[in-house]
Structure 1
Amino acid sequence: MGTVERNEAATAGDAAHLTVRQSPEALDHDIPAQRAGTGPAGRVTAEEQPYYRPLWVEESAPRRRMPDPVRTAAVRAVLIIAVTLMQAMVAFLCTLAGSWLAFPMVLSSVASTVAATWAALDVWVTRQVWNQRNGVVSVPSSTARALRRERRKTRRQARAAQRAQARIRRRGGAGQLSHP
């Protein structure tokens, strides 16, 4: 079953769920109320069984996947930041314990903090560079789209000029006023 069928089934199920309403006589969820169309001893027939919603409904991703260079930089940054936080915690605990390892850990934590800041900036810069080079496809007024259109137009004109030159050469120079 594809995503479209699942969404349609979920929508149809939600409509069925909305049509089943609790009787006004039933004040408590545990006490079943006698409804019209119920079977003997107040049992609910198969047509009136309440619809139970699934635990979750799959929805399509709201955003596009990150480009590979940006994702790589983000993973690298997360790993560096995690190591930095662990180093800071070890440095703090060593300081509380009065260990000789406290001073080297504090120094390495400072160096790791600089590296983590650099890694976070690298994610931002990589994302900006990727957007500038490849353009944001979803924005209609994207400058990258206009640049690509201009490049395609110049390539088409260059190919047309090459075809015209090849045609002239095949004819043996016919059509030219002077031979170079």
Structure 2
Amino acid sequence: MNQEAVRKAVIRHAGAFAAIFAATTALIGIIGWWQGEQWRVTYSNIAILNGVYCILILYLLWIILSHDTPDFLGVPVVKAIHDKKLLIVEGTPWLSLGVMTAIYIKDGEYERLICTGEVVNVQTNRLVQILVRENDDVFGDIDAATEKLAQTAKGAILIRPGLFRRVSQ
């Protein structure tokens, strides 16, 4: 991990913790000043303990809320097609062994489901092998679907997560 990124993250967390600590301490101090000397003597330990709890809860809440949600994990780029049934694509975080995929062809603004596939190998160089498993109903058999894939430009083939199943009518 980059040292500069770690330094910035530590500074960001330290700043948030310091702000939460200062706000909680100021609030307890104002309540103690407002209630008077007798209250401070009687409830100081409870106020400090509850202040520590508030600081921890608010800091953990800040961590949860400040965590950026990841962008879409990406559509893998098709590098090659072997034997019309094996697609070699760039690896993405969601592609792992056994994951079922839906394979589309982009036609202008329209994305057409061609077939489904299964990840059969994740190579050490982060390339992923996807084997075509089933064809869409539009094509008579799997050979017609794979022929369509072979004829399509690699940039127009989209790999999406999940398996598409039609309900029998």
Larger relative helix fraction? 1
Larger Rg: 1
TM-score by length of 1: 0.29
TM-score by length of 2: 0.30
Larger relative strand fraction? 2
